[in-house]
Chain A
Amino acid sequence: MTHLDLSPRIDDPDRLYAALVEAHEGLDEAASLRLQARIILLLANHIGSTATVCAAIDEARRFG
């Protein structure tokens, strides 16, 4: 599955946003980066497709 689904799919957007931000509370920059990386890796494994994750990386990098 290489298709990256960009249609609105998040079931509880406000809660998701808050959770992403709150996860970093009390962490310095290095710890935050490491946490962020753990989250990405967990989600990447859940998705299970390197091609899909690469499509997400490409899309994310379009914003400079």
Chain B
Amino acid sequence: MPSTYAQPHYAYRPSPQAEATHPVVVVGAGLVGLTVALDLAQRGIDVVVLDDDDTVSFGSRAICFAKRTLEIFSRLGLGEAMLAKGVQWNTGRVFAGVREIWHFDLQPEPGHAHPAFVNLQQYYVEEWLVAACEATGRVDIRWKHRVSAIDPREDGAVLSVDTPDGAVTLQAGWLLACDGARSFIRESLGLPFVGQVFRDRFLIADVVMQAPFPPERWFWFDPPFHPGGSVLLHRQADDVWRIDFQLGWDADPEAEKQPERVRARVQAMLDMAVAPGIAFELEWVSVYTFRCRRLERFRHDRVIFLGDAAHQVSPFGARGGNGGVQDADNLAWKLAAVLRGEAPEALIDSYDAERIPAADENISHSTRSTDFITPKTKAAHAIRDAVLDLAARHAFARPLVNSGRLSRPAVLTGSPLSTQDDWDGGVPPGAPAQDAPVQRDGAPDWLLAHLGGDFTLLAFDPPAAIEGAVVVSSNPAPGAFWDSEGQAFARYAAGPGSVVLIRPDQHVAARFRAYDPEAVAAARSRALGA
């Protein structure tokens, strides 16, 4: 059991025997299910969440929260807590043996409110999400509710649910399946989940120790303390450290999980890589294999799949949890707009159009990283080792070293919701809005904190007032966000009079060199699937 974290247990409340249809039912109170529930609730939608357990994630699991995820959680009100509790980092180092052959800085330029990554145990984020969901008064989380059957219909789904008080039936207008890689909903509907299996096993050990070690991601290929395999070290909150050991396909998962065995591996590593004889405690151990695969489509009429239920990646690159949170970010405003009657139901199809390419990008990066870390053939192994040999001596080989290409936000290129333009540079339609340091009435602020929620028009030095617009000015002006460092104009490639239409999920919908109310209205309508 974790010694640094007291697992909360939430109260089971019986479901009524007969209820009206719920507009939205989320299956799975995990990272993604809670995020989409919170986002919907903040948009005024009532949500029921069903979970078969009564607590948050067991074990630290997804620990690396990327900048885009932090921006999304900031929009939802959890950003400050994550920055305060989590370990911020921007740098990764790669070693061949004990020699550093490559390092990367994921956020080389200043002027962003959020770092490239925050490392934080998943259970903290889930606990805060539960509290935030409850604070809305619109999310009804039903613990100890296990879905046992689903009957999908044209106008929703009927669920049979097992509870400690027996079976109940729930009707949902929309069903959001956030029930993880082994999704019961996906399996019940008989939907194929196809892709690649990697013939390798990894040991995760979370250890508690006081170590004088920088908050960076360290990755070793073939280190002397674990010959022939790779090792990954990450720092989390509470002096908990994540260590991943590559074990190979022939390893016996049960034997490898034995505490004495894990302790010996960890001690050998820490003695050499951190400090000889350093004391540590084992917090959590798991052995896993992984796959890269996805559903052919994420929307099946009124049943929509998010997160690991829809797509699965290897952990290298932190693309699982971060990809899932972006799914929630993408779907919530669309579903809310449809339920409020502001958009046609067809808008939901754009979730597939935008998130399937994003999932493919994550799968492609994750597969390539895995192919580097776990070469499949003798020839592939030789090429990988040759890259490591050369990288130690020659700069040209270093970009070929792939210990995980870390999660970047999806740029929804070619989205049907975007209005295309011929701008050179800047933030293109489909891309998430860029942050910039600004000042309003003398107080330092961040631009991104004022974008999203609803559609926002960002206006740069507008020649005349535009109602409701967020104004960025090149000189201090009352009520405007003064671009004190010139970053906003530069990042958006904006000139005086430029306007940018931002979607409720902070992605850019359209850009114009001059404000034209009709063109902006047309772009907004297009972004709402009209």
Contacts and interface: CB of A to CB of B under 8 A. Distances in A.
B385 A34 contact: yes
Contact of A34 (B382, B397, B400): B382
B261 interface: no
Interface in A1-39: 29-30, 33-38
Nearest to A31: B382
B397 A37 contact: no
B387 interface: yes
B396 interface: yes
A42 B382 contact: no
Contacts of B382: 30, 33-34, 36-37
Interface string B370-403: 0000000011011101110110001011001000
B379 A45 contact: no
A6 B481 CA distance: 60
A38 B389 contact: yes
B386 A41 contact: yes
Contacts of B386: 34-35, 37-38, 40-41
B102 to A, nearest CB: 15
Contacts of A33: 378-379, 381-382
Interface string B65-97: 000000000000000000000000000000000
A35 B387 CA distance: 11
Given A30-B378, A42-B390, A37 B396 contact: no
A37 B385 contact: yes
Nearest to B383: A37
B397 A41 contact: yes
Contacts of A40: 383, 386
Interface residues on B, range: 10 to 19
Q: Tell me which of A33, A35, A40 has the highest count of chain B C-beta atoms within 10 A of its own C-beta.
A: A33
A41 B378 contact: no
Nearest to A29: B378
A45 B378 contact: no
A60 B378 CA distance: 19
Contacts of A37: 379, 382-383, 385-387
Contacts of A35: 386
B381 to A, nearest CB: 8
A45 B397 contact: yes
Contact of B390 (A29, A30, A38): A38
Contacts of A34: 382, 385-386, 389
Contacts of A38: 386, 389-390
Contacts of B379: 33, 37
B385 A45 contact: no
B385 A41 contact: no
Contacts of A41: 383, 386-387, 390, 397, 400
A9 to B, nearest CB: 23
Nearest to A46: B396
A40 B390 CA distance: 11
B383 A45 contact: no
Nearest to B391: A41
A30 B386 CA distance: 11
A42 B389 CA distance: 11
A42 B390 CA distance: 8
A27 B241 CA distance: 41
A45 B385 CA distance: 17
A59 B397 CA distance: 24
Interface string B90-114: 0000000000000000000000000
A13 B382 CA distance: 27
Q: Tell me which of A30, A41, A45 has the highest count of chain B C-beta atoms within 10 A of its own C-beta.
A: A41
Contacts of B397: 41, 45
A47 to B, nearest CB: 12
Q: Tell me which of B382, B390, B394, B400 has the highest count of chain A C-beta atoms within 10 A of its own C-beta.
A: B382
Interface in B338-396: 378-379, 381-383, 385-387, 389-390, 394, 396
Given A30-B382, A34-B382, A41-B386, 16 more contacts: A29-B378, A30-B378, A30-B381, A33-B379, A33-B381, A34-B386, A34-B389, A37-B383, A37-B385, A38-B389, A38-B390, A40-B386, A41-B383, A45-B394, A45-B396, A45-B397
13 contacts: A30-B382, A33-B378, A33-B379, A33-B381, A36-B382, A37-B383, A37-B385, A38-B386, A38-B390, A41-B386, A41-B390, A45-B396, A45-B397
Interface of B: 378-379, 381-383, 385-387, 389-390, 394, 396-397, 400
By Cβ-Cβ distance, the 4 closest A-B pairs, closest first, are A37-B386, A33-B382, A38-B386, A34-B382
